[in-house]
Amino acid sequence: MRCPRLLLLLGLVLAACTPPGAHNTGIYLLVDTSGSYNRQVRKAEQITLYALSRLQSADSIAVARIDTGSFTEKDIIAKATFDDRPSTANQQKRAFASHVEKFIDQSTPAPYTDITGGLLQAIEFLNEKHPARKEILILSDMKEDLAKGYVRDLPLDFRGFDVVALNVTKLRADNFDPRLYLTRLDEWRARVEKGGGRWRVINDLDHLDGLL
């Protein structure tokens, strides 16, 4: 009679001591600052504020720009992992929002668009944080334009990642031939899904409810 009780107690203790699974979220927002998209940068603030309002303690967020060579920490504009305590997390959110706002006010157009480099940086950043849910948000027209000498033809490991393209605007050429736009999106979809990730496109920024 005593033995089963001891076993039950032991089981309960073990269950209580089992390391809990991660519940946090990691978000990496890539903002395209190339010449063709720089006018849309202001929308990055809207997305950042939305993301901040949905994030909780222990969640991580980073905002980085896409420019000529984006596979670098220098392109990260702001990053934060929110504190355990809700009050401190709120202070961090306010500081983060202020930082992003300052960047947007001072943003200058970049000559090239290195989306792949930005994605590599995002994967690296989020993998370091070990969040339970990893989301890469790309505010861009998804038109990659690499400078000479940049090699970006490499497979990306998107396993466990949600990649969301936001506000993918149509270029002048897309208007002449919509197939260009569709092909561009299909190529990115194929690339993400081939890497094991999930791909989504949200063009209506007034309805971001399903984003996080």
Q: Does 204 engage in binding with another protein (CB under 8 A)?
A: no
DSSP H or E segment with residue 162: strand 161-166
CB closer to another protein out of 24 and 36: 24
Which span sits near another protein by CB under 8 A: 1-9, 46-54, 164-172, 200-208?
Answer: 46-54
Q: Does 56 engage in binding with another protein (CB under 8 A)?
A: yes
Please, what is the minimum distance in Å from the beta carbon of residue 59 to another protein? Answer: 9
Q: Does 24 engage in binding with another protein (CB under 8 A)?
A: yes
Sign of the dihedral defined by the CA atoms of residues 43, 206, 184, 152, in that order: positive
Chain centroid to CA 174: how far? 26
DSSP string, 15-83: HHHSPPPP--EEEEEEEE-BTTTGGGTHHHHHHHHHHHHH--TT-EEEEEEE-S--SSGGGEEEEEE--
Q: State the maximum Cα–Cα separation within the chain, in Å, rounded to a whole number.
A: 81
Q: Does 58 engage in binding with another protein (CB under 8 A)?
A: yes
> If you search the block for the tokens 């993400």, which residue do you land on?
192
CB closer to another protein out of 52 and 166: 52
Task: In whole angstroms, give the CA distance from residue 148 to residue 151.
Answer: 9
Task: In whole angstroms, give the CA distance from residue 60 to residue 47.
Answer: 15
CB closer to another protein out of 148 and 207: 207
Q: Does 132 engage in binding with another protein (CB under 8 A)?
A: no
CB closer to another protein out of 51 and 165: 51
Using a 10 angstrom Cβ sphere, with 0-12 exposed, 13-18 middle and 19 or more buried, the burial of residue 59 is: buried
Q: Does 175 engage in binding with another protein (CB under 8 A)?
A: no
Q: Does 212 engage in binding with another protein (CB under 8 A)?
A: no
Q: Does 50 engage in binding with another protein (CB under 8 A)?
A: yes
Which residues inside 88-107 make contact with another protein, applying CB under 8 A? 89-90, 93-94, 97
Using CB under 8 A, which of 49, 76, 146, 201 touches another protein?
A: 49
Q: Does 18 engage in binding with another protein (CB under 8 A)?
A: yes
Q: Which residues are at the interface with another protein (CB under 8 A)?
A: 15-16, 18, 20-21, 23-24, 49-50, 52-53, 56-58, 84-87, 89-90, 93-94, 97
